Amino acid sequence: MNRKKIQEILVKNILLVAALSTSLAIGLIVFFLFQQGLGIFNEYPLESESVIVVNENVSVKELSAFEIKEINDKIKTNWNEFEGGTNEPIRFFTDDKIGDDEMLMDVLRENPYSIASVDADEWKEGDKTGLREIPVPKNSLTSLLTGKFWFPTAEPVMQLGILPLLLASFLITFGAILFATPIGVAIAVYLSEVANPKISKLLKPLFEILAGIPSVVFGFFGLVVVVPFVQKLFELPVGETALVGILILSVVSLPTIISVSEDALSSVPHSYREASLSLGATKWETIYRVVVPSAFSGITTGVVLGIGRVIGETMIVLMVTGNAAVIPEGVLHPVRTLTATIAAELGEAPFGGVHFQALFFIGCVLFLITLVINLIADYLISKHTQR
């Protein structure tokens, strides 16, 4: 008897440990994701081996990564366009014209109002007279979330703004859900209310097949069929566009929307339907005025879960949307989402570097977005079941 009791306790604890595995996994994911991702705020948007140096008569106190890009691209050519700057033209030098960083520093000394990116070791050991290091602020939440450029390997400073990626993800998710919601709900209504139960029993596994097709196969299909089709239809230079992503992802999100909505519709009590029908309403009027409104929170849950499915999708967008990390100009242009950026760049980013951390930061943003989506879905479900 005693041995049995010990065994009972042992078993219960082993099962408990297994049950805690998902909590442990979530904890570890949060820790490792955020450890790398939040590290970005301690880093400068510079490669560790370079500093930005100016001639000492430059009066500007600080330059952001974006401002240095503007100087580099000759968008801003006068120091008075910056805070604290005087009315003098900017002279921007790069070491690829001059060759040697020691010579570059001499050039900076000789040219008033000049600026250049200098090798950090050279700067540490070299002669600093007449020169000044200009501080570049660390990456901040605002610089990352509102920066309009994503050029993580740009010289002399990296542009780590994820706004173009965020907008691309939102555009594709919004577009896909816009298509998928009416279609998905229509099919759910058909399966649950309209179709002969035998037929709907036959059809349901077919929609499950759609859910089972791996995303890489969808991506491949998009690449060989939908991309050329869209390219021809709209006479585009390239077919890999946001539109292809939207079209395919709307199909991918359908099974989620259909199955959750269908569950919600079929759990509406029969008495509701009978009451409506007995008042003389037609079947459609009953569906439209009684059944769908009663199942509304369930249908919303399906749509919310569909959003979660689409925003996290990686392989399809990586393969068919053209991978251009610019602010989307429209659905007929190439874009790159948050997920595709991680997939495309993590392999090339050196471990622990600024670029690597920026990609983990994107992972944190994605994690938080899907967390919020899941919490909303959980809330809707609990509301639904309470009723």
Partner 1 sequence: MENNLSLSKGKINSRKIAERVIFIFLRLVAVFVLGILGIILYFIFSEGFSVLSIGFLTEMPKEGMTEGGIFPAIVGTGYLVFFSMLFALPVGVCAGIYLQDYAKQGFLVKLIRLATNNLAGVPSIVFGLFGMAFFVHFLGFGASVLAGSLTLSLVVLPVIIRTTEEAVKTVPREIREASLALGATKWQTTYKIVLPYAFSGILTGSILSVGRVAGETAPILFTCAAYFLPRLPNSIFNEVMALPYHLYVISTSGTQIEKSRPLAYGTALVILMIVALTNLIAVILRNKFKIKQ
Q: Write out the binding residues for partner 1, residues 270-289 only, by CB under 8 A.
A: 282-285
Cα dihedral across residues 96, 99, 104, 106: positive or negative: negative
The helix/strand/coil state of 165 is helix
Select 26 or 103, whichever has its Cβ closest to partner 1: 26
Q: Which of 236, 277, 346, 353 binds partner 1 (CB under 8 A)?
A: 346
Task: Give least dist CB 237 to partner 1, A.
Answer: 18
Q: Which of 147, 298, 306, 308 binds partner 1 (CB under 8 A)?
A: 308
Cα dihedral across residues 59, 63, 66, 72: positive or negative: positive
Select 29 or 141, whichever has its Cβ closest to partner 1: 29
Task: Give least dist CB 211 to partner 1, A.
Answer: 9
Token code pair at residue 37: 């991702």
Q: Which of 38, 103, 178, 225 binds partner 1 (CB under 8 A)?
A: 225
Select 60 or 251, whichever has its Cβ closest to partner 1: 251
7 binds partner 1 (CB under 8 A): yes
Task: Give least dist CB 10 to partner 1, A.
Answer: 9
Token code pair at residue 351: 């471990």
Select 90 or 287, whichever has its Cβ closest to partner 1: 287
Task: Give least dist CB 37 to partner 1, A.
Answer: 9
Q: Nearest Cα to 158, choosing from 258, 66, 237, 231?
A: 66
CB 242 within 8 A of CB 331: yes
- Footprint (CB under 8 A) of partner 1, residues 165-224: 183, 186-187, 189-191, 194-195, 203, 205-210, 212-221, 223-224
Token code pair at residue 145: 């979330």
Q: Nearest Cα to 167, choosing from 369, 372, 325?
A: 325
Select 85 or 255, whichever has its Cβ closest to partner 1: 255
111 binds partner 1 (CB under 8 A): no
Task: Give least dist CB 159 to partner 1, A.
Answer: 21
Q: Which residues pair with 78 in a beta bridge?
A: 89
233 binds partner 1 (CB under 8 A): no
Interaction mask 8-47, partner 1, x per CB under 8 A: x--xx-xxx-xxxxxx-xx-xx--xx-xx-----------
Select 251 or 290, whichever has its Cβ closest to partner 1: 251
- Footprint (CB under 8 A) of partner 1, residues 312-341: 312-315, 318-319, 339
The helix/strand/coil state of 181 is helix
- Footprint (CB under 8 A) of partner 1, residues 354-373: 359-360, 363, 366-367, 370-371, 373
CB 309 within 8 A of CB 298: no
CA distance 221 to 74: 43
The tokens 């068919």 sit on which residue?
A: 320
Task: Give least dist CB 259 to partner 1, A.
Answer: 13
Select 85 or 298, whichever has its Cβ closest to partner 1: 298
Is the preceding omega at residue 328 within 30 degrees of 0, hence cis? no
Q: Which helix (H) or strand (E) holds 118?
A: strand 114-119
Token code pair at residue 295: 């199942």
CA distance 249 to 220: 13
CA distance 152 to 238: 24
Q: Which helix (H) or strand (E) holds 368?
A: helix 354-386
Interaction mask 126-155, partner 1, x per CB under 8 A: ------------------------------
